[in-house]
Amino acid sequence: MSTLYKRSPLAQAVECEGEWVIIQVKNDTITKLNDTAGSVWSLLYKSMTVNQLILFAGLQKDPVMEASAADVEVLLEHLVQIGLVEKW
């Protein structure tokens, strides 16, 4: 079974002019996401696998935002480590 990822309910996000800023009050952190990370974040309102995220974010079709599964996994693991995303 593939690993699922979803936004942490403790993280609050704001999209402004196409850029995502994530606030986590518990850790007093503010995180700004680049375009690729923002595309992934926008889909994490529900549980998804890495392959689903790549497919639905259009990352395999857009040459500017092209990302491999390994790239997305690295991003997700970082977001898990800093408490913005949950995995199971």
Pairing outcome for strands 29-33 and 19-24: antiparallel
In three-state secondary structure terms, 87 is: strand
Q: How confident is the model at residue 70 (pLDDT cuts 50, 70, 90)?
A: confident
Predicted structure pTM score = 0.86
pLDDT of residue 21: 96
Domains of the chain: 5-87 (3.90.930.60)
pLDDT of residue 46: 96
Region 4-23: what's the mean pLDDT?
93
DSSP per residue, 8-32 = -TTEEEEEETTEEEEEEGGGTEEEE
pLDDT of residue 17: 85
* pLDDT(68) > 60: yes
Region 26-46: what's the mean pLDDT?
91
